[in-house]
Structure 1
Amino acid sequence: MEKDLINSLKEMMGISPGSQLEMIFDSVSQVAPYVGKVITSYKIYRLEKRFKNNETRISKIERKIESSSPVITDFIKGKVFPFVLEDLLNEAQDDKIEFILNGFETVIDKKITEEDKIIAYFDVVRELRVDELKTLFNYDHTYFTLLQEKRKSESIDYRKEIESWKLNEGYYKYIKSKLSTLGLIKRDEKDVFEEIIKFVEEKFQFDERNDFLAKNRLSSKLDRKLESYELTQFGQEFINFIVNK
């Protein structure tokens, strides 16, 4: 399996047999297990396992690369594949591998050559954990419904899972804050502004009547509105990238 993995990596990176680059690659492959011994060995084992689990898909990706134009092929092997390989090697959560490969296929299928944008997408993939990705998908109702259908056979209900996180207010706020910081979701500023104006007007009326219960209900309603987010354009583009829409 190890030889198959190394040969597959060489082919995808465009390393020619007998070239100086192949000699360097082979030298690094031989030395690597002795550098950071346990960690490196475990990562190589995990990478082999991920290649084996996705063997059919990776073969399909290889065929797509081979059928691309020379310019696109060179760009993918020289610029994109190193990012993908790094993520396949270092990513701690197996559930994210599907999205890394989806992103790789998106680059190939849509012939994306904007290097900065590709790097940005893969940077965000690295930043987000699985729980955060699930929460992000919840803002794309079309994809979330498809995801639920796909996961029915696994008896997974993502909506119930996300609702359970809401009970842990601090954790759920942390997730939304992180998604917002990365520019993936935002508050609907117009909607919030209108809600605040309405809040002030209604609160004035309740103050005059000393209706404390109504004021509390109104405050709770405003709090919920302030915590209401929607996808940004970048957030939608990122989802499209990692689900290959």
Structure 2
Amino acid sequence: MPYIGQFEQTRKINRAERRIKENSVTLKRIQQLFLSGELSQEFIQEKIGPIVLSDLIEEHEDAKIRYLLGGFENVFIDKNTNESLIINYFDTLRQLRYIDVKYLHYYAGLENDEKSKYEKDSKEEALYLQIYTKLERLYLIKHASTFDYFDFGPESSEESLRTELTKYGKNFVAFISKEFDISHYEESIKDREEPEGLLPKLKLTE
């Protein structure tokens, strides 16, 4: 059905044009960084730029565009030429919904706790548990190995979980969010008390 295909294409173009207008300030900064010549223009035009442009057009959630462009800007700021790493960060962002990013930011200390508002056994609580599992599967967060988690998984208490960002999670959040400082985050979790009921570490015997 050609009319449907044409309509979808027009919708995407209009959406991209609107997003460009709404994020014009960030895009101007990125253009200035691009023209500064700190990074190879060929690297940006041939490798990274097409990925960002494609996601700018295809991404369904407007709220995620700030993280897409924030990551793109950080490529210049950090003079990052590790193509595989950059592409992987954008791949990870593509797998997340905006609400997933908000929960990730909560564990990074950048957002308030929304899940405390949810009633037990509600649909909202079930969604949160699914998001927790998703972030864990993407190696963005990790939890303490406790008997409580062994029995109840992500339904365990917050004190028992003692959730933290993984190494990859810290670097990813720093990539998409300027306000996140890794050293400040590590300092904030340094003196956390060990949760009760830690599983004993297994020792291999010869």
Give the TM-score taking structure 1 as reference length: 0.63
| 1:127 counterpart residue number | 95
String of CA shifts for 1:39-84, please: whole Å, max 9, x gaps.
1100000000011111222122111100024x52221111111110
Cα distance change, pair 176–166 in 1 and its aligned pair in 2 (3 A)? farther
CA contact (8 A) 2:144 2:161 kept: no
> Out of 129, 139, 148, which is 2:107 matched to?
139
Matches within 5 A, 1:35-114: 36-69=5-38, 72-114=40-82
CA contact (8 A) 1:165 1:172 kept: no
Cα distance change, pair 36–238 in 1 and its aligned pair in 2 (3 A)? same
Alpha-carbon RMSD across the aligned residues, in angstroms, is 2.5
How far apart, CA to CA, are the structure 1 residues paired with 2:29 and 2:66? 14
CA contact (8 A) 1:72 1:111 kept: no
How far apart, CA to CA, are the structure 2 residues paired with 1:88 and 1:68? 23
CA contact (8 A) 2:144 2:163 kept: yes
In structure 2, the gaps of 5 or more residues are: 181-206
Greater share of helix: 1
Question: 2:171 is matched by which residue type in structure 1?
Answer: E
| 1:115 counterpart residue number | 83
1:173 matched to 2:129:
yes
How far apart, CA to CA, are the structure 1 residues paired with 2:91 and 2:116? 27
Report the Cα offset of residue 173 of structure 1. Answer: 0.9
How far apart, CA to CA, are the structure 2 residues paired with 1:171 and 1:113? 37
Give the SS at the match of 1:175.
helix
1:188 matched to 2:144:
yes
| 2:156 counterpart residue number | 223
- The percentage of aligned residue pairs carrying the same residue is 36
Report the Cα offset of residue 188 of structure 1. Answer: 2.0
CA contact (8 A) 2:140 2:166 kept: yes
Aligned residues: 170
Larger radius of gyration: 1
